[in-house]
Amino acid sequence: MITTPETRNRVLIIEDERKTFEGWLAELKSRNIEADVATDPDEAVSRLTSSVYTVILLDLMLPFGSTKSARTNESRYDVGVEILNRIRNGDFESHGTPADVPVVVITANTETTVIERVRRLNPESICSKPESPRYLAEHIKSLLRKDNDT
C-alpha cells in the first residue's frame, strides 16, 4: 500500500464498546497516531468508503447494521467477518481504503470455524480480546513503520 503525507499514520478503529475504544484511542494518541472510530458496520462502511486508512483495528463482534441479512442464523461475529471480506474484495478502493490495508482483528471468539474464516481473508494479525491497549498501540506503530519504509 502506498501512503502519502495525508494518509500516513491514520488508523480506523471499528469497535462498539466505548470503554475499549477509548483506551485504544488514548494509547494511539500518546504515540501521535491519528485514529477515527466507527461503532457500527454502517459507520465503518461510510468511513472506509470516504477515507484512506493505513491500518484498521477490527473487532469481529459488532452490532448488526442496516444491511443485516435476512438469515436468522447469522451471528454478530459475521458482521466483522463481512467487513473484512469487503475490504479484501476492494469494495472501498475507488474512493477510500485499499484492499491491501493491514487489518488487525480483535476477537474474544475462540471457535475454530470463525477463526479459520478470518484467516482465509488474510488479516495482518488476530489478537485475543481483551488485549492490552499498550500492546495494540505498539503493534500498530510497528505496522505503520513497516508501511512508511516501503
Chain segment 114-142, per-residue pLDDT in tens: 899 999 999 999 998 877 889 889 999 99
pTM of the model: 0.85
Residue 2 pLDDT: 43
Closest CA to 11 of 109, 141, 116, 148: 141
pLDDT above 60 for 30: yes
Closest CA to 107 of 93, 91, 123: 123
pLDDT above 90 for 104: yes
Residue 150 pLDDT: 54
Q: Which domains are delineated in the chain?
A: 10-149 (3.40.50.2300)
Average pLDDT over residues 22-50: 93
Cell of 100: 491491501
Sign of the CA dihedral with 14 first, then 20, 26, and 28 last? negative
